[in-house]
Chain A
Amino acid sequence: MKILVGYKRVVDYNVRIQVKSDGSGVVTDGVKLSANPFDDIALEEALRLREKGVAEEVIVVGIGPADLTAHLRNGLAMGANRAIHVVTTDAVQPLTAARVFLKLIEKEQPGLFIVGKQAIDDDANQTGQMLAALWDRPQATFAGKIDVSIESGATGKVTVTREVDAGLEVIEAELPAVITTDLRLNEPRFIKLPDIMKAKSKPIDSIEFASLGVEAHDHLKTTHYAAPAKRSKGVMVKDAAELVAVLKQKGLL
């Protein structure tokens, strides 16, 4: 079977985000961009499934402007067989991203679509669930462990351990299905120099967003960006006794 992987480029998680003083957005000029950490985990899992013989082909998918190809090359260097680049200069909201992914599913007929549980820029945590709804297929969100058993082609089932508030939930789903990754699913491999060379010859299929016939109207309008309220600077205490005294005085102990 084929596995499609959502591979989004975001501001690197080490960057301290600054809100523009006029409230029109956050400063993204010149900041370091990287793969969404959850998407690296999604790709790693797909590659491991291919290495186990469960999948034959792993395809990374990105939606974004022309320069996204450099980012998709990283996915290819990590080991994906090929990439699909849906080209648009507009920011796409999760419902639109899910509709785009559904179009790609119709063409590629994957057994699994793996995405990150959330992208660390907008922290929406929606795209995978929306895709599963539109596709009318199972969803296994916040995956910490995945076991796939294939019957033939793209049919079979997947058993997923999900990280939920109450603990660990195990569910079983028929393929094809959507999985969203949590942090402890795996540790993504590092890209090695020869892989970067090899990735240069791997195909990236470019598709104009407009050619997909996806409704692009976005339902949510962001009208203002603000920096979060700052906590005021605290006090230092010298020892345990003073700490207890301060907490008692505040009525906290």
Chain B
Amino acid sequence: MSKILVIAEHLDGKLNPSTARAVSAAIAVKPEAIDVLVLGDSVDAIAADAAMIEGVSRVLTVARAENAHPLAAVLAPQIAKAADGYSHVFAPSTTFGKDVAPRVAALLGVAQVSDVMSVEASHTFKRPIYAGNAIITVEANADHAVVATIRTASWPAANSGSNSAPIEALTLDVTLPTHTRFIELKQGSSDRPDLQSAGKVVSGGRGVGSKENFEIIYKFADKIGAAVGASRAAVDAGYVPNEMQVGQTGKIIAPALYMAIGISGAIQHLTGIKDAGTIVAINKDGEAPIFEIADIGLVGDLFKIIPELEQTLG
């Protein structure tokens, strides 16, 4: 039987919703137990959140000052130690999970399955390659642990609220390296919905033209209560910060509504939105590739259309 250890992602004392998505993937394996591992300096509030997620059997915590920031070199040896006895170790496929999971896999001497989209059997998974242009079925060796990252856009967050899993503190006897130090995290402060979990996302591309013009995207997004994203071209041109990039090398998202404004629809961008419910494209070029995948297309100048949209909405 399978026993799964899910690595919790958290920031500023709050559990990241990606953790509950990884739990969904764990449930799909139909294991005997799903334990969530919380590594931090102060872990109580995070552990309490994790304990409420349906399907979680136990929450294991490791509270150490060294765990204040998610440094892979510091976390990986602890996770590898805690993984003893588990058949699977899952982490969300966010920059946190992508950073730490391969380090854990290498310490365990096993391969990693990246970006799990579906679970076919306990050791068989589907994952995308070539920017999502091919989907492969991979089989991991059942003789040792499977380390995997979970493609969050493919999994709904497991429900939360009705569960109250026991919380247990772990003491792990591992020496931690001191060769890597956290200096700072520069976060874009925003009151808007979080790009990775928002139900609606409005994204702007190079067509928006400048940092100043991007205000029109923000304003419209605020009007409909959407998060704001961007193409790589818009980030590279300095219109918006890097954490807003959507695509193969940015965030992979699955909102119910995605509006691509002044974005041409390059393959690398589309990779990030394949699982969106409804894709709307607004572009002045009727031949833009974005129209090939959009559910609703509108050809025209964004600087004319957006004010009209706002007006219609009242």
- A residues contacting B by CB (< 8 A) are 11, 13, 16-17, 19, 26, 93-95, 98, 117-118, 120-134, 136-142, 144, 159, 162-174, 177, 182-184, 218-228, 231, 233-241, 243-244, 246-247, 250, 252-253
Which of B53-61, B137-145, B163-171, B206-214 sits within the interface?
B137-145
Pairwise interchain contact B187-A125, C-beta atoms closer than 8 A? no
Cross-chain contact of B136 among A140, A164, A225 (Cβ < 8 A): A225
With contact pairs A224-B137, A241-B308 given, residues A167 and B243 touching in the complex (Cβ less than 8 Å):
yes
Pairwise interchain contact B296-A246, C-beta atoms closer than 8 A? yes
B107 at the interface (CB under 8 A from A): yes
Pairwise interchain contact B111-A94, C-beta atoms closer than 8 A? yes
In the complex, besides A139-B103, A169-B184, 17 extra interface pairs with C-beta distance below 8 angstroms are: A11-B130, A26-B130, A95-B106, A123-B115, A123-B129, A123-B130, A124-B112, A138-B177, A140-B180, A170-B185, A219-B141, A224-B137, A228-B274, A236-B299, A239-B298, A241-B312, A243-B296
Q: How far is the CA of A209 from the CA of B309 in the complex (A)?
A: 61
Main SS at interface, chain A = mixed
**Chain B nearest CB: distance from A217 CB in Å?**
9
Contacts of A168 in B (CB 8 A): 185-186, 241-243
With contact pairs A183-B249, A219-B111, A235-B297 given, residues A125 and B102 touching in the complex (Cβ less than 8 Å):
yes
Contacts of A163 in B (CB 8 A): 95, 242-243
**Chain A nearest CB: distance from B71 CB in Å?**
7
Pairwise interchain contact B297-A126, C-beta atoms closer than 8 A? no
A-B contact count (CB 8 A): 253
Pairwise interchain contact A234-B129, C-beta atoms closer than 8 A? no
Greatest chain B CB density within 10 A among A166, A170, A226, A246 is at: A166
Q: How far is the CA of A118 from the CA of B249 in the complex (A)?
A: 9
Contacts of B312 in A (CB 8 A): 240-241, 244
Name the residue of chain B whose CB is nearest to the CB of A95: B111
Name the residue of chain B whose CB is nearest to the CB of A226: B135
Q: How far is the CA of A134 from the CA of B274 in the complex (A)?
A: 35
Pairwise interchain contact B186-A167, C-beta atoms closer than 8 A? yes
Pairwise interchain contact A227-B134, C-beta atoms closer than 8 A? yes
- Give B225-258 as 1s and 0s: 1 = Cβ < 8 Å from A's Cβ atoms: 0000000100110000111000011010000110
**Chain A nearest CB: distance from B120 CB in Å?**
9
- A-B contacts, 21 of them at CB < 8 A, read A16-B133, A95-B105, A95-B111, A118-B249, A123-B115, A137-B179, A139-B103, A144-B242, A164-B185, A169-B182, A170-B186, A171-B180, A173-B180, A177-B179, A183-B232, A219-B140, A228-B134, A235-B296, A237-B298, A241-B312, A252-B257
Pairwise interchain contact B11-A173, C-beta atoms closer than 8 A? no
With contact pairs A16-B133, A174-B179, A234-B297 given, residues A133 and B140 touching in the complex (Cβ less than 8 Å):
no
Pairwise interchain contact B113-A123, C-beta atoms closer than 8 A? no
Q: How far is the CA of A220 from the CA of B146 in the complex (A)?
A: 10
Contacts of B183 in A (CB 8 A): 159, 170-172
Name the residue of chain A whose CB is nearest to the CB of B114: A124
Name the residue of chain A whose CB is nearest to the CB of B242: A163
Pairwise interchain contact A125-B103, C-beta atoms closer than 8 A? no
Contacts of A125 in B (CB 8 A): 98, 102, 114
Name the residue of chain B whose CB is nearest to the CB of A167: B187
Pairwise interchain contact B72-A129, C-beta atoms closer than 8 A? yes
Contacts of A130 in B (CB 8 A): 102-103, 105-106, 112
With contact pairs A95-B111, A231-B293 given, residues A243 and B280 touching in the complex (Cβ less than 8 Å):
yes
Pairwise interchain contact A17-B130, C-beta atoms closer than 8 A? yes
Pairwise interchain contact A17-B134, C-beta atoms closer than 8 A? yes
